[in-house]
């Protein structure tokens, strides 16, 4: 399989060297690596240019700076930059991967994920389970429901990519793409890396404040079609996460605010499909609790 990896970054000078070093030490390096500077004002582009000059499979692409936005992440600029970069790929590819810049990849990550795709022709999207350092320094697993693949490590089979893209949504795109893939008969899955974890150097939803991140996640749940009963369950599950209680309430407030505003969301067939999946997961959880 020919694997193209795309890393989009904006002002990631602190984390980009770690990612690039872990890419250079992959057991299976990508056939093509596009490093996309999305308008950085720090030294990120210089770091990427140096890496590209030393690794023939890597190329640096530049995009213009974006105007300031009140909540930049709601419009998913990294998705826009990723889709733009896919169009720049001149070489043929079988798998295209979207990687965030704030990662330390397990040495066998690309090899393992590619092997999964080669072994299962119905696997459309695959990624790695992620961990991050908690307040005490110990590694904590990021929440990852069954079938979910974090937006930070998305590996798309070409045929699945064609079925899913272009995406109409921005907020909530990294769940909407999976639901669309499963509606087309593809499997989506995250897997654990053997021997060494892939580390998220910045905890999920913490880029511009944890509470704002939880509200944004709630708004994303509205966008990708989660029903109110499921959102209440999800918010309850988040009450024990840091920040205690306020995280779950902020998640619920994000969904409710999006509903009141009538924010864009996926169409009714995709919402119904997701509701059926959620009901099946809820039944399975109840049965497991009753059995044990």
101-136 per-position pLDDT tens digit: 999 999 999 999 999 999 999 999 999 999 999 888
Q: Looking at the domain covering 3-200, what would its CATH class be?
A: alpha beta
For residue 140, list its beta bridge partners: 132
Q: 6-45: per-residue pLDDT in tens?
A: 999 999 999 999 999 999 999 999 999 999 999 999 999 9
pTM (2 decimals)? 0.92
Tokens of 97: 């991967």
- Mean pLDDT score across all residues of the chain: 92
Mean pLDDT score, 60-84: 81
pLDDT at residue 72, rounded to an integer = 56
Q: How confident is the model at residue 241 (pLDDT cuts 50, 70, 90)?
A: confident
Q: 190-201: per-residue pLDDT in tens?
A: 999 988 999 999
Over 90: is that where the pLDDT of 178 sits? Answer: yes
Q: Evaluate whether 22 touches 103 at the Cβ level (below 8 Å).
A: yes
The single-letter DSSP state of residue 75 is G
pLDDT at residue 203, rounded to an integer = 65
Over 80: is that where the pLDDT of 187 sits? Answer: yes
Distance CA 60, CA 51 (A): 9
Kindly list the domain boundaries of the chain, sorted by start residue.
3-200, 210-291
Over 90: is that where the pLDDT of 59 sits? Answer: yes
Chain centroid to Cα 177, Å, comes to 10
pLDDT at residue 58, rounded to an integer = 98
Least-confidence region, from 62-76, 109-123, 177-191, 206-220: 62-76
Distance CA 292, CA 288 (A): 6
pLDDT at residue 166, rounded to an integer = 94
Chain centroid to Cα 211, Å, comes to 19
Give Cα separations from 61 to 33, 34, 65, 86, 88 (angstroms): 10, 7, 13, 12, 9
**HSE, side-chain direction, 13 A CA sphere, residue 94:** 12
Sheet of 130-133, strand order: 103-104, 198-200, 130-133, 139-141
Q: Do you know the residue count of the chain?
A: 292
Q: How confident is the model at residue 68 (pLDDT cuts 50, 70, 90)?
A: low
Over 90: is that where the pLDDT of 181 sits? Answer: yes
pLDDT at residue 134, rounded to an integer = 85
Radius of gyration of the chain (CA): 19
| Choice between 242 and 142, residue whose per-residue pLDDT is larger | 142
């Amino acid at each position: 399989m020919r694997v193209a990896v795309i890393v989009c970054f904006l002002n990631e000078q602190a984390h980009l060297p770690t990612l690039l070093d872990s890419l250079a030490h992959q057991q299976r390096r990508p056939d093509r690596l596009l490093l996309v500077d999305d308008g950085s004002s720090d030294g990120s582009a210089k770091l990427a240019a140096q890496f590209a000059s030393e690794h023939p499979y890597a190329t640096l692409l530049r995009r213009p700076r974006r105007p300031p936005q009140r909540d930049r992440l709601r419009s998913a600029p990294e998705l826009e930059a990723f889709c733009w970069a896919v169009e720049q790929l001149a070489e043929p590819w079988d798998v295209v991967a979207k990687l965030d810049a704030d990662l330390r990849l397990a040495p066998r990550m690309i090899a393992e994920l590619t092997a999964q795709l080669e072994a299962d022709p119905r696997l459309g999207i695959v990624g790695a389970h992620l961990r991050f350092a908690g307040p005490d320094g110990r590694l904590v697993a990021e929440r990852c429901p069954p079938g979910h693949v974090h937006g930070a490590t998305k590996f798309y089979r070409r045929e699945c990519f064609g079925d899913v893209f272009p995406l109409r949504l921005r907020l909530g795109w990294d769940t909407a793409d999976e639901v669309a893939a499963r509606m087309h008969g593809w499997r989506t899955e995250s897997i654990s890396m053997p021997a060494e974890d892939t580390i998220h150097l910045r905890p999920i939803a913490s880029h511009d404040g944890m509470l704002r991140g939880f509200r944004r996640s709630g708004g994303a749940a509205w966008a990708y079609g989660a029903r109110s009963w499921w959102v209440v369950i999800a918010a309850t599950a988040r009450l024990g996460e840091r920040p205690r209680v306020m995280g779950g309430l902020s998640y619920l407030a994000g969904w409710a605010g999006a509903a009141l505003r009538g924010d864009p969301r996926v169409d009714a067939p995709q919402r119904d499909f997701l509701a059926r999946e959620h009901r099946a997961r809820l039944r399975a959880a109840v049965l497991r609790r009753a059995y044990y």
